[in-house]
Amino acid sequence: MNQYAFTGFPGFLAGKLITHLATLPDQIGTIYALHLPAQRPEALALKQELLATTSLQDEQLVLVEADITLPEVILDPIMRSVIEREVNYIFHLAAAYDLSIPYDVGYRVNLLGTKHMTAFAKRAKHLKRYVYFSTAYVSGRRQGTVYENELWHRVQFKNHYEATKYEAEAIVSRELGSIPATIIRPGIVIGHSKTGETKKFDGVYFVLKLMDQLRQAAPLPYIGRQNIEVNLVPYDYVVEATAYLAHAPVGLKRTFHLTDPFPHGAREVYRMIHEAMFGRSPRGTIPHFAAETGFSALQLSERYGVPKELLAYFKHQVHFDTTQTLRALNGTGIVCPDLQDYLPDIVAYYNTHKEAGT
């Protein structure tokens, strides 16, 4: 049986990955869920939920207080020694994901955190795989096609989140010759492709929030005429693909774009959301600069907690090649679904749960 360690607990993706792994309980010895001391109540709550909804037993899911910004990572020295000696798979998901983070926060959590976790992985005596969660947007402001075996570039970044994740991935990339690592680069992760379920309505869900607020003015206009690719992926695809690539030999020492191989353009995505919300297509177009001016004038960042940095992702043209991912997943049945097939479920889930602020 395998021993696992997860950072990023009690985060959404960590919980979903553990749920997925629990479908094969005979392969699991112990899962060590690393969490900040201040997150103990949330970690306990998620543990109880996982024990109630999966086949995991109490002794198989162990909560461990940790802080990846510290060199030792795991606070208790005895527990640190046990995990270093036993662990076979390390999933490093913890990061500062906010697009508006200041550089010093991104540096401590994303860069130093990854440096410390990578050193921890190198000390693990029986490590089979170190799975690092990066992002497709380490590409920064690159344009054209970005390939999975590419990282290094000198273009600027849209925000400090991208910059520090790039520097963090560079740390892991330099160690691919010395540790059994797999690098995962997801696109913009949204809800479940069958149910629309998600933990919170952030990121691209801002578009739904804004449309909902402007419901009385529908049909609404398009924003800009550019049809930039928008790379949205459902979390179930990310979870299933990651779990497979983390264990399969084909995933060893490689980087994978868990992005939509056939992404829709921004105008098309906007149209699909609009039709799901209002049952009719948008009408007219306003230019990007007018939308950005209105974004600031109406204080949308303050009112809805949406970073203004998000707008850059709807006007920057880049295509993420997925050749390596598609080849690795061929024959597994793990396929990224077409956005147009499940977007109505995403919108329906939002409409049903928006009052709860999920």
In this structure, are residues 321 and 175 in contact, taking their beta carbons and an 8 Å threshold? no
In DSSP terms, 143 is beta-bridged to none
With pLDDT > 90 as the criterion, what percentage of the chain qualifies? 80
> b vs e for 195-220, b when ≥16 Cβ sit within 10 Å of the residue's Cβ?
ebbbeebbbbbbbbbbbeeeeeeeeb
In this predicted structure, the answer to whether residue 232 has a pLDDT above a threshold of 70 is: yes
Bond preceding residue 219 cis, omega within 30 of 0? yes
CA-CA distance, 262 to 110, in Å (whole number)? Answer: 29
Model confidence, pTM: 0.95
Structural tokens at position 122: 């190198």
The class that CATH gives domain 2-189+232-258 is alpha beta
- Helix/strand/coil (H/E/C) assignment for every residue in 309-355: HHHHHHCCCEEECCHHHHHHHCCCCCCCCCHHHHHHHHHHHHHHHHH
3-state secondary structure of 132: strand
- Pairing of β 229-230 and β 264-265: antiparallel
> At 316, is the pLDDT very low, low, confident or very high (cuts 50, 70, 90)?
confident
Residue 56's pLDDT is 95
Among 46, 56, 163, 51, which Cα is nearest to 102's? 163
Cis peptide preceding 261, ω within 30 of 0:
no
The tens digit of pLDDT for each residue in 11-34 reads 999 999 999 999 987 789 999 999
- Match 């993706």 to its residue by tokens: 13
Cα three-residue angle 50-244-193, rounded to 5 degrees: 65
**Confidence class for position 171, pLDDT limits 50, 70, 90:** very high
Average pLDDT over every residue of 287-299: 74
Angle 40-53/12-21 helices, nearest 10 degrees?
30
DSSP letter at 356? G
Q: Which amino acid is at 37?
A: P
Nearest CA-CA partner of 7 in 28, 31, 29, 35: 35
DSSP state of 138: G
Strand (E) positions, the chain?
A: 2-6, 28-35, 61-65, 89-92, 129-133, 144-146, 181-186, 188-190, 222-223, 229-230, 232-234, 254-258, 264-265, 285-286, 318-320
- Sequence spans of domains, the chain: 2-189+232-258, 194-230+265-317+339-356
pLDDT digits (tens, 9 = 90+) for 71-107: 999 999 999 999 999 999 999 999 999 888 999 999 9
DSSP state of 74: B
Separation between Cα atoms, residue 2 and residue 10, nearest integer Å: 21
Hey, what amino acid is at 47? K
**What three-state secondary structure class fits 30?**
strand
Alpha carbon 22 to its chain's center? 20
Q: Tell me: the pLDDT tens digits for 103-120?
A: 999 999 999 999 999 999
Could you tell me whether strands 28-35 and 2-6 are parallel, antiparallel, or unpaired per DSSP bridges?
Answer: parallel
Confidence of residue 206 (pLDDT cuts 50, 70, 90): confident
- Residue that is written with structure tokens 């690719």 in the block: 229
Tokens of 305: 């907690």
Report the alpha-carbon distance of residue 67 to residue 69 in Å, rounded: 5
> Longest Cα pair distance anywhere in the chain, in angstroms?
64
